[in-house]
Amino acid sequence: MTNCEPISTCLSLEVHHMVCNLGLGKVDVPDIEHIVAVSGEVFWEAITFHLRTSDAEEQDLDYIESVKLLGPICKTVHLYLLSLSARQFDDQYGLWFKWTNNRELFVEVFEAIKSSQETAIALSLMKLTACLERALGDVFLMIGKECPFLLRDLLASQELATVFGQSVMNVLRVFLGSPRSLNLRNIMWHGFAAPAEIPPMYTSTLLFLTAGLGQILEGVLPQRNLTLLHRPYFKLTQLEELTVFPDINEEAIAVAEDFIGKSDFVVEIMLPYWREALAAYRNQRYAECVILLVPQLEMGLRKYFTAVNNCPNRLLTAESTTLYTTFDEMLAKYLDNGVKNQLPPALGDPVMEILWDLLNHQEGPRLRDHLSHGELDLKAFPREMASHVVALAVVLLHHCCRGDNGVATEDKCLRMIVSSMRSYCSRFHPIGRLKQQLRHCVESLQKWGEMPRPTLGQTPERPGSDRSSLSGCLLKELVSNLINRLRIVYDEELNPSQYLLVEGQLHLVTELLASHMCTLYCPRAVLEVVSLLRKMTSQCLTVSEQITSGAASRHQQWLNKSLRSRQRQNYLRMLDSVQYLHHVFSLLILLITVELLNAQTMSDKASSECHCYLKFLKSLLQYTENMVTYTSSEKNKWDESWDLTEKMLLKVKNFYNRWHKVTTDCAT
């Protein structure tokens, strides 16, 4: 990727005109007394008066005329706020930000406006729009049920119009609510706007309007007997699983600072964001570091995307008729015209999987979504997440670095970051989640050996030695079947006799889970199999934990001699079943692991074969669900669990025998 000529803006001609010129015409500005009272109260009518509707039948807003007419209002508001001291602003407006649940953030926005530092104002606009969206969502939920995911849908909702008035919501829509409007939130959070491109008066106006919304609520809440409750913040609990890169220290920051001036990944007009992001990390302002970096990762990837796919026009913001080129499209397998996207092979699977884990997978941190929608507590943003994002940025900067990369990689810190990325496997794809569940199951089953038993002379009653012996033979046969099935996808030559005992089976599961499985663009058939396997694994873990906790509890009651006669007999039956069930569930975990590895072949199967296979997995799921019930402390149905288990094992045996026959016939 190379720069042919400097990029002067990433805003398209129409968007640039709308944002940077339209509201800045040389016209007389109104006096502040027409917009705000001496007490600080916002005169909304003086603002809504300047809205215009289109001539179309639907009477939608005329965004161009509205922006043009609101421009002088914004100038007046901006000059007014600049005339206030921090003390005056806080005294006048502080209480009216309380409804946002983040009063301090809006005071910081005011301080940024007063500083006149372009990057600080741009950063403040991103924080403001995120917090405002979250607060408006809280207001929506006072009378609505499910808050819209998109800000434009939230602003257009009848619920908010009912609380604030339609004309007030239309003012916000001019600033934030449509691709045809100023659309400040989107062009900032998607990395299109350079620091100097957004007129500061728009940040001032949104700050002022947010206080005005608080004033409206102050009257509406008691009048309508409503209580504004704030949703709890989303917690980033996946930090341990994201421990991929070495922790970012001063040396790594220095490497990144060196790279941003050399890498084609960076658009030159965006350099202030990069420098400020690294300074924020150095000063332990981790949320601000990430807020600045994530849009620039998107901008850098967009630049790379347009280069490798030879579509330079996609670098700019789209018009209202075309979607922006965002993370979703850039990380997809195909372009919107059906042509294969060249970005994934250009970046490589590990980087793609890191990006998917960080941004897209539903069970991952979905960092940009949660940040931009105001769902994270910025005051408690974890250093580990910021370190992860900075390290990813270093990888991408290095990937697109001009000059001799060989010289650059002599840096020890850089080598550690780049090399730690190369073995990355997805943590938050359904396959990655299943692997993690299986590891938890292995850990739980390994604890069965520590299960306490009575030391008295009683001999537990057995359901019958013949039955136990028969089941043992069946288990051995199933181990052999599983090893044969494993040979399809596993290169190592395995001897079934090594895996007859629980320890060997669990060790094999651990080894198999360490093997790499590509998760990018899994076919639907594979995901359906993985979904069933995940449900089975969850039930297996529940059974294991119920048995270990139940055994510990019953043992303590045995020692305390608090078990009644029937309970003692039931406890002894439980102990007799434990060893057998230990073998069964370790085998079941091995089966799930083998089927996970084989899941990739599902897309090649005929529909009838897939149907039979899914039916088989669903029957195993039903078994595990029943076992959760039978092994619970309320049921303790140990004889019934034995009968159910034998039926399940026979079903598995018959299925694998049929499968083996089919594959043998096909081979001959």
What local confidence, expressed as pLDDT, does residue 56 receive?
Answer: 60
Angstrom CA distances, 89 to 30, 80, 106, 633, stand at: 21, 10, 10, 62
Q: What percent of the chain has a predicted confidence (pLDDT) above 70? A: 93
Closest C-alpha among 551, 545, 547 to residue 571: 551
Taking a C-beta distance cutoff of 8 angstroms, is the pair 203, 121 a contact? yes
Taking a C-beta distance cutoff of 8 angstroms, is the pair 293, 300 a contact? no
User: Over the stretch 9-64, which tens digit does the pLDDT of each residue have?
Assistant: 999 999 999 999 999 987 777 889 999 998 889 999 999 999 999 876 556 899 99
Taking a C-beta distance cutoff of 8 angstroms, is the pair 530, 431 a contact? yes
* The pLDDT of residue 406 is above 50: no
Angstrom CA distances, 59 to 48, 52, 278, 478, stand at: 16, 9, 47, 70
Q: What percent of the chain has a predicted confidence (pLDDT) above 90? A: 67
Q: Identify the residue with better confidence: 410 or 581.
A: 581
What local confidence, expressed as pLDDT, does residue 320 receive?
Answer: 55
* 404 contact partners, CB below 8 Å, separation of at least 6: none
Q: Can you spell out the DSSP letters for 27-95?
A: -PPPPGGGTB-TT--B-HHHHHTT--B-SSTT--B-HHHHHHHHHHHHHHHHHHHHHS-HHHHHHHHGG
What local confidence, expressed as pLDDT, does residue 517 receive?
Answer: 87
What local confidence, expressed as pLDDT, does residue 665 receive?
Answer: 52
CA within 13 Å, CB half, 625: 10
* The pLDDT of residue 233 is above 90: yes
Q: How confident is the model at residue 621 (pLDDT cuts 50, 70, 90)?
A: very high
Taking a C-beta distance cutoff of 8 angstroms, is the pair 509, 442 a contact? yes
For residue 624 the two structure tokens come to 């595990």
What local confidence, expressed as pLDDT, does residue 460 receive?
Answer: 46
Torsion 10-14-17-18 (CA) sign? negative
What local confidence, expressed as pLDDT, does residue 471 receive?
Answer: 67
pTM for the full predicted model: 0.90
Beta partners for residue 36, in sequence order: 42
Where is average pLDDT lowest: 276-285, 431-440, 471-480? 471-480
| 3 state SS of 329 | helix
User: Over the stretch 179-201, which tens digit does the pLDDT of each residue have?
Assistant: 889 999 999 999 999 999 999 99
| Length of the chain as a residue count | 668
Distance, in Å, from the CA atom of 430 to the CA atom of 522, rounded to the nearest integer, reads 10
Helix runs in 429-564, H state only:
430-446, 465-486, 502-513, 524-559
Closest C-alpha among 376, 463, 374 to residue 176: 374
User: Over the stretch 457-483, which tens digit does the pLDDT of each residue have?
Assistant: 544 444 444 455 556 788 888 999 999
* The pLDDT of residue 487 is above 90: no
User: Over the stretch 324-381, which tens digit does the pLDDT of each residue have?
Assistant: 788 888 999 999 889 999 999 999 999 999 999 999 999 999 999 999 999 999 999 9
Distance, in Å, from the CA atom of 639 to the CA atom of 622, rounded to the nearest integer, reads 18
What local confidence, expressed as pLDDT, does residue 661 receive?
Answer: 64
Closest C-alpha among 365, 505, 534 to residue 445: 505
* The pLDDT of residue 158 is above 70: yes
| 3 state SS of 521 | coil
* The pLDDT of residue 668 is above 50: no
Torsion 631-637-642-646 (CA) sign? negative
